[in-house]
Amino acid sequence: DEIYLPLLDDIYLCVRSIPSTRDQLDIKVEQRAGQARSTSTRDDDASRDGNKRDCCAVDRVDASIRHLPVIYPSSIRVHTKEKGMASQQLVSTDAAFERAVLCVFQALPSATPLDQQTAQAQLDDLASRPVALFDTCMVHLELSQRMEVQFYALQAMHGLVQSGGYAALDDGRKRALKRSLLQRGSSAAGSSQASQASQASQLSQASQASQASQSPPPLFMRNKLAQVIVAIAAEEYPAAWPGFFSDVLSALKENPASVDCFSRIMISIHEDIISLEVPRSAAGAKASMTFKDAMRDNALEQVAASWHQMLVMFKSSDPGLVALLLNSVERYVNWIDISLVANERFMPILFEVLNSDHSTHGVAQVAAVEVLAEIVGKKMESGVKLSLIQGLGLVPLAAQWADTGLPGMMSCVSFEVEDHDLAVASAKLLVNLANEILDAWKKVENSVISLQTVGVSLDDEAILEATASCQTATMMMEQLFPAVVTAFRIPQDDVSVIVAPFMLSYVSRIKLVSKRANGELAPVVRAQLVALLEAAAVCARFDSNVALYPVDYASMEEMVIAEEEEQSVSSRRQDLFSLFRNASKLVPAAAYELVVNMLNNSLIGNGAASPAGAVGAVGGATRASQGTSNWQDAEIALSLFYQLGEGMTEEVLKSSAHPLVELASGIIQLDDSVATHRLVALALLEACARYAKVTLFRPALLPSLASKFFGSAGLGHPASTVPPRAAYLLCRTVKTLRQPISAISRDILCALMPHLDAIARSPIDNQSVYAKLGCSRPSGLAAAGASATIGVSGAGVSTPDDRLFAFEAAGLLVGSAEDEKIQVEWLQALTRPLIEQLERTDGNGVTSSEPSVSSTAADKQMSEQRIQSGNDQNGQYQAALCRQCMEALTRISKGFVSKMCASRPKLTQALLQPLEPAVKAVKALYMVKEFRAKFLAYVHRLVECLGEPIVPLLPTVFWALDHPQMDASDFKDILVLVNQIVVRFTSNQTIIDSVVIPLFADCSSKVHEYLGSDWDWSMRTSLEGVEDQGTGSTEELRERAELQKQYYTIVNSVSQCTPVIDRVLSRDSAAVSDVFQGAVLNMDPAVRRLCIATLSGIVLHWVRTQPLVEVKEVVSRFGCDVLVFGLLVKPEAGGIDIRDAGSIALLSEIATQVKLLATNDRVGDVFLSAVVETATTRYGWNQEIAGELVAQIRTLDGRALRSYLKSMVVVGRERLR
């Protein structure tokens, strides 16, 4: 046995490779092993029997897992030497334990959930006994052939250490565990195929076959092994295991497995013990610092030497292992002594790895770059940092990338990326290097300037040292900048987002230096800025390899691709365009020349030798072609031209020779054929809108400018996304040039009419609706820019249609005309098609011109059901047309002001003409909420611009808005209109008597109807969102709460109208009572504040107009119950929470009103006396405290009084307990 058993595994694997003998060998080996176990058991003494029973306690497994497949254990002789005693013990794996582990890991298909639960219970029971768990796991870690069992053993050991069970083990077991783990980590089965090949020649033929059949342990096993070793080190190093690092390094062999294990141990030390990114307790942070200090004092030099030795050994043969090793180095650079890695031995190896063949060493190159980036980014003094960077020799290496391209790029010419990770890592290194040089340069220079500014004199040596440091930084930046520009030009978002922040910082630095030098720039710096401008233009350009549809997408996939690309470019351009603008301000002539050349090359097709010639080419173009370029070049050229116009001053506009003015003139006169692609058209329109003020001093350009917006590059563009933006920009331009452009308003209106007609007839761009109606999707003039979808509810959810800005522009043009007759003619021409469309609306048979409803309730119900169910597609389309018409009428009316309409009665009548058909349409389509909203917006606009002439038509308007299905939300919308009427006509007594007072009385009574008798006026239910059968759903509660707020708003408006207060807001009126409730009980601080302001206006009016005897009670109630002592009510009883931010404004309002009452000549003393009486009689305060309150009210003001009231609330609520 002593000879046979140690070789059993080799013989078994060798012979088992013969298929014919495999099964027989399994049986014989198992039989022989069983005999050996029985013999060993009989020879054991009583003590070993006890240990055996403890270690094999898991044999008592529930019978429910006995049916699982039997796993044949291997059997070998284990040699142990502890405390000078040598023994040989034959141990083997426990099949029951292995089955339990496999069952828990779901590695046995036949195991049921009950089996898994039982197995988990058995393992938990074993885990509760640390010694038994340790012995069992040690045996299976050495002997088990199942990876799941080995991993469980390691995992259990890890948990044993972390849970404190490791401390219960004796020293012998601890030493055995550490030795076993380190030996396992350095085993030859560890890492690479190269290691296996180097050992193959030393094996016998049978052993060679066995070794070839083995494979490296999986990553999770190697990582777990390292975690267990590090967990033990965290417990014992440096006190109990001072030689941890020496033991780890001495256990290593010259094979990849050892290096792999060492690297993972170092990574695990960083992540589990040292890293500051992991939240730790105070004790954990202290232990981490102790571990780090011990490493710094005793181990780092040895570890760094091992890093170097391992890199030298495997730098050429195993790039994956080198990458892992360098990953471990990277984690320590930021806190170890930099000389351990930044030296003449270590740096050449990093450079050698970086310059190695990318096809085989790509992953190692990335790791080397990351280590270099950490070395460069290590914090230190500015002068020392510059010396370090210069001594590393990294700047000359990185400077070569300007010609060769960054590592990971295929070439510097095509800017194609071969290895994305390496290119990104190289860009980070390059930017880190440039940032560190720039920061050190600024700190050295600023330190000298700061000291000189405060009057501190510097000796010559310090000045020379600072000067030398600045010169060194300047020289290195000049060498490095071309490589940074090369990286900036890489068409990868991941790279540009890294480089752009440095470029912004560098331009800011140049701007500061230029300011100190009175605007002078060195030739080198000027060349750098020019290169930066060119790189920013390249980086901001759309990728030619991404196909973006020129007009409209043909499929959803094409649309999604285009949207993603456009969003990506838009996000990238935010920093790029900011960089371009900042750099162009430093070298404006170079920026103009660059943009001019780009415009000529992309839009004209013939470049120019000078900016002047280029401007002339653009200005003289009448027919441009994009045949020699592509749309990407044209789009970026126009976009950069747009960026140059930011902040253009009036002096520039007046200058006839300024390059921007000349260039803008040429762009405005370009033929529309240059903008066939939708993105080019949008860029052209944006540029024309930004430079529209050029026409203020060049009126001859106005026709060309206007034609851009309604021509084939604007409203007439076939792409659905261009007309909406063109309409908006046209409206903005008309507002900017309202007086000059009125000279050609007739021509513009004539050109706009077909577009307006098309927009009015195409309210939605929903292909399914058009298909159901049997008509095609609108295109060209009728293409909608904002989609609208018809929902199952029938009303539809529409998005704003920016094409309607064209109607607003038309209204502005008509409103700017001097002749009333011309205005009326054009207004009628604009509104006639809209009126005709409204008149064609019959609401599916519901038509009426009288106040009585002509159709029956059944007819209405059927119509409502058809519209709401979505079955009547034609009805939905007609409703959408009416919405479009109402919105267009509202936009047109924005061009007219009340002063103009008051002096032109015919114009007023023309504006009122669409109201009658609109009333009929809203009565017919009363179930379409969106149409009612558009109608209300139109009426709001008429009230604002017409004033009194609309008052006789208001009853008809309210009649149209009233319908049987009206809810709280609908009535709230009506109250908004009523509030506008109250505010608009407060100075007209006739309208007050005939309209305002009846409207307010009617609304006040109906508010109570819609709120209901069970409504909680404190709004607690709606704010808390509590649903029950009595109050309704959450949405209904919200709508009723909004109605209550709007009701309080109307009362507030009425309280500011002196002629109305005495007639509708008497002391016994329901409105005053409602406002009192809101001021005392409402849970919303904003609503309570509104109610308090309203009551203040009412009460102070009564104080001014009524006898003092009659108002004493009201003043006392308002001042005490509402203002001062109303704050004492606790939040749970309906009071406010003074800790809430919204309560600050409420307290400020209360302080203001308290001061107004206290300083009022008639009722000030009455109010303060009531405060004292209420405090002493109702709240039980003594006379001294009440007197102090009154004294504070008299003396304090503003914020001080608010603070005092806040403290009074806290103290007063405590007294109430």
Cα dihedral 939/944/949/951 (nearest 10):
60
Measured in whole angstroms, the distance separating CA 1154 from the mean position of its chain's CA atoms is 45
CA atoms of 633 and 615, how far apart (whole Å): 17
Q: State the pLDDT at residue 399.
A: 93
Contact between residue 306 and residue 341 where contact means Cβ atoms under 8 Å apart? no
Q: State the pLDDT at residue 28.
A: 44
- Which residue's entry shows tokens 């049986």? 27
CA atoms of 637 and 604, how far apart (whole Å): 12
Q: State the pLDDT at residue 262.
A: 93
- For residues 927 and 44, which has the higher predicted lDDT (pLDDT)? 927
Highest mean pLDDT among 55-64, 670-679, 853-862: 670-679
With 90 as the cut, is the pLDDT of residue 885 above it?
A: yes
- For residues 1175 and 847, which has the higher predicted lDDT (pLDDT)? 1175
Residue 950, token pair as written in the block = 């609309």
Q: State the pLDDT at residue 735.
A: 94
Contact between residue 760 and residue 885 where contact means Cβ atoms under 8 Å apart? yes
Helix residue ranges, H only, 587-721: 588-599, 611-619, 631-644, 650-654, 659-668, 678-690, 702-710
Residue 1079 burial (CB count, 10 A): 25
- Rounded to 10°, the helix 873-893/745-761 angle is 160
Overall average pLDDT of the 1035-1063 stretch: 90
With 50 as the cut, is the pLDDT of residue 7 above it?
A: no
CA atoms of 524 and 310, how far apart (whole Å): 44
With 90 as the cut, is the pLDDT of residue 464 above it?
A: no
Give percent of the chain above pLDDT 70.
80
Q: Flag the least confident range among 196-200, 520-524, 1145-1149, 1157-1161.
A: 196-200
With 50 as the cut, is the pLDDT of residue 72 above it?
A: no
Q: Flag the least confident range among 172-186, 218-232, 767-781, 865-879.
A: 767-781
Residue-wise pLDDT for 862-873, tens only, equals 444 444 444 456
How far is residue 443 from each of residues 448, 507, 529, measured CA to CA in Å?
9, 17, 23
Residue-wise pLDDT for 1177-1205, tens only, equals 888 888 888 898 899 999 988 888 888 88
Overall average pLDDT of the 814-835 stretch: 93
CA atoms of 923 and 196, how far apart (whole Å): 89
CA atoms of 634 and 312, how far apart (whole Å): 54
Contact between residue 440 and residue 473 where contact means Cβ atoms under 8 Å apart? yes
Residue 885 burial (CB count, 10 A): 29
Q: State the pLDDT at residue 151.
A: 93
Strand segments (E) across 809-917 = none
Closest by CA position to 354, among listed 307, 284, 401, 308: 401
With 70 as the cut, is the pLDDT of residue 280 above it?
A: yes
pLDDT band (50, 70, 90) for residue 360: confident
Contact between residue 968 and residue 1043 where contact means Cβ atoms under 8 Å apart? yes
* Average pLDDT over the chain, rounded to an integer: 80
pLDDT band (50, 70, 90) for residue 963: confident
519 contact partners, CB below 8 Å, separation of at least 6: none
Residue 262 burial (CB count, 10 A): 25
Residue 1101, token pair as written in the block = 């009016």
Q: State the pLDDT at residue 453.
A: 61
In sequence order, what DSSP letters do the residues of 1087-1148 get, joined into one string?
Answer: HHHHHHHHHHHHHHHHHHHS-HHHHHHHHHIIIIIIIIGGGGS-GGGT---TTSTHHHHHHH
Backbone angles phi, psi at 409, to 5 degrees: -95, 145
With 70 as the cut, is the pLDDT of residue 415 above it?
A: no
Look at residue 798 and give its three-state secondary structure: strand
Q: State the pLDDT at residue 580.
A: 95
Q: State the pLDDT at residue 455.
A: 62
With 70 as the cut, is the pLDDT of residue 783 above it?
A: no
Q: State the pLDDT at residue 790.
A: 22
1030 contact partners, CB below 8 Å, separation of at least 6: 1014
CA atoms of 398 and 405, how far apart (whole Å): 10
Residue 910 burial (CB count, 10 A): 22
With 60 as the cut, is the pLDDT of residue 1095 above it?
A: yes
Q: State the pLDDT at residue 879.
A: 85
With 50 as the cut, is the pLDDT of residue 1211 above it?
A: yes
- Which residue's entry shows tokens 């071309």? 482
pLDDT band (50, 70, 90) for residue 606: very low
CA atoms of 848 and 956, how far apart (whole Å): 12
Burial class (CB in 10 A: 0-12, 13-18, 19+), 78: middle
- For residues 691 and 110, which has the higher predicted lDDT (pLDDT)? 691
Overall average pLDDT of the 1022-1031 stretch: 58
Look at residue 77 and give its three-state secondary structure: strand
Q: State the pLDDT at residue 780.
A: 35
Q: State the pLDDT at residue 770.
A: 37
Residue 295, token pair as written in the block = 């490493």
CA atoms of 32 and 36, how far apart (whole Å): 6
Residue-wise pLDDT for 641-687, tens only, equals 999 998 788 888 888 788 899 999 999 999 998 999 999 999 999 99
964 contact partners, CB below 8 Å, separation of at least 6: 857, 860
Q: State the pLDDT at residue 834.
A: 94
Give percent of the chain above pLDDT 90.
46
CA atoms of 238 and 293, how far apart (whole Å): 10
Residue-wise pLDDT for 30-40, tens only, equals 444 444 344 43
Q: Flag the least confident range among 705-709, 870-874, 949-953, 1046-1050.
A: 870-874
Closest by CA position to 762, among listed 803, 714, 731: 803
Closest by CA position to 1098, among listed 1084, 1126, 1083, 1117: 1117
Q: State the pLDDT at residue 797.
A: 34
DSSP label of 260:
H
CA atoms of 209 and 203, how far apart (whole Å): 9
- For residues 13 and 925, which has the higher predicted lDDT (pLDDT)? 925
DSSP label of 400:
T
Helix, strand, coil percentages (3-state) for the chain, rounded to 5, are 70, 0, 25
Q: Flag the least confident range among 273-287, 565-579, 607-621, 1078-1092.
A: 607-621
Task: Name the pairing type of β-strands 788-789 and 797-798.
Answer: antiparallel
